[in-house]
Amino acid sequence: MEKYFPPELLSDIFSRLPVKSILRFKCVSKKFCSTINDIDFVKLHSSQSLKNKTNFKLVITDGDGHIILLRFDSLEDPEFLENPLKYKTRDFVYPIAVCNGIVCLIRLDNTVALFNIATRNHRILPSLDDESFSFQVFGYDPSNDDYKVVRVTAPEVMVYSLKGNAWRKLNKDFHYPINSVHTSAPCFSGNVHVLLAPVQGIREDNLILRFDLSTEEFEEKLGENIWMMKEYGIKESWTKLLSVVEQEGIRQMDYSLVLPVAYSLNREKVLLRLTGSREKCTKLAWYDLKKKRIEMLGKLKDTLPRDFFANVTVESLVSLEERKQQLILYDQDNHYGWDGRGLITAMRIFIVLVIALLALCFISS
């Protein structure tokens, strides 16, 4: 029956499905498995997700190692994932960043891991055997089709490449006070961003620091409030989105830190992460760009940790395996392995797909 499914048709159909559904097809045949594992298909699937605004997830992480996924369109259907670095109850696991469905995590002993939230596979990075105080950023370098982790111990800068699975030292130094690093932002267009807090006697304002993953250069931007770059990379396109001090709802609730997480899918709202100044707790809120109003998301109170980080990403099929391995099944209970239930589930999906295609052909004729 496979001869009736040209590779182009298979790729187009699979690219419109959620990752979990796609993984179930890998056990149907070698042809299906080969199509799904192809690097070009992985990119096509991510492109379709962005184009059709599907497979978006809100990723909630905290220092206790919790990883919670919510559908970004509705902020519902929470999934609680097992953290690959959480071996002991007292292990402190800090999320560095999220990019293309991959969460970069670091443990208190400086062990770093990359974790795909959809496929559930992960990779532990080579150890640097250095316990110096540092900060890390993570993102995707489209110029070299590579994922990179940048570790700064001031003045030393180290870069890890997923392709090479190795660290290397840059021939340039980091000239900013490392204790001023406040938080990092998601990767965009091959650039990762870091917010540096004011330093007494050196700088009175916040500083946005950009690191180009391709050229591996730092660039700074002074900033107040929340800004939007309409054309990425064009300095003149910076536009103030909102002023935190002008939002009475935020001022009255006395939040010390307000960070934008992401636009809503219809781009009419901005999701904000608010950190309280009097008590250590974090909340989420929508800021309506038209009504200029804050809407707190109280419905998530019982689902989310007391203090957390929030990122929005697209689920992906990006592989973190170091070498090609045997075909892996993904059964309906979210377990890996050769399982009869997984095979039955995949066959059922395959039959439904065939019936749908035949019906479509019949209607068209």
Question: Which pLDDT tens digit goes with each residue over 58-100?
Answer: 999 988 888 999 999 999 889 999 999 877 656 788 888 999 9
Torsion of CA 240, 242, 243, 244, to 10 degrees: -140
On whether residue 43 sits in a domain, the answer given is yes
Give residue-wise pLDDT tens across range 260-319.
888 899 989 999 888 876 666 888 999 898 888 888 887 787 888 888 889 999 999 999
On whether residue 163 sits in a domain, the answer given is no
On whether residue 34 sits in a domain, the answer given is yes
Give residue-wise pLDDT tens across range 204-251.
677 788 889 999 998 876 555 556 655 655 656 556 666 655 555 555
Q: What is the mean pLDDT of residues 48-58?
A: 93
- Total domain count, the chain: 1
On whether residue 329 sits in a domain, the answer given is yes
Q: What is the predicted pLDDT for the residue at 342?
A: 47
On whether residue 39 sits in a domain, the answer given is yes
Q: What percentage of the chain reaches a pLDDT higher than 90?
A: 33
Q: What is the mean pLDDT of residues 347-352?
A: 62
- In the structure, what pLDDT confidence band is assigned to residue 119 with cuts at 50, 70 and 90? very high
- In the structure, what pLDDT confidence band is assigned to residue 141 with cuts at 50, 70 and 90? very high
Q: What is the predicted pLDDT for the residue at 338?
A: 37
On whether residue 170 sits in a domain, the answer given is no
Phi and psi at 225, nearest 5°, equal 60, -150
On whether residue 256 sits in a domain, the answer given is no
184 vs 353: CA distance, rounded Å: 42
Q: What is the predicted pLDDT for the residue at 172?
A: 86
Q: What is the predicted pLDDT for the residue at 221?
A: 66
**Over 70: is that where the pLDDT of 326 sits?**
no
- In the structure, what pLDDT confidence band is assigned to residue 49 with cuts at 50, 70 and 90? very high
181 vs 206: CA distance, rounded Å: 10
Q: What is the CA radius of gyration of the chain?
A: 22
On whether residue 65 sits in a domain, the answer given is no
Q: What is the pTM of this model?
A: 0.78
Whether omega before 155 lies within 30 degrees of 0, making that bond cis, reads yes
Count of other CB atoms within 10 angstroms of residue 289: 15
Q: What is the predicted pLDDT for the residue at 322?
A: 67
Which region among 37-41, 167-171, 239-243, 297-301 has the lowest average model confidence (pLDDT)?
239-243
Full domain range(s) for residue 43 = 2-49+320-364
- In the structure, what pLDDT confidence band is assigned to residue 45 with cuts at 50, 70 and 90? very high
Give residue-wise pLDDT tens across range 335-349.
333 344 445 555 666
Q: What is the predicted pLDDT for the residue at 31?
A: 83
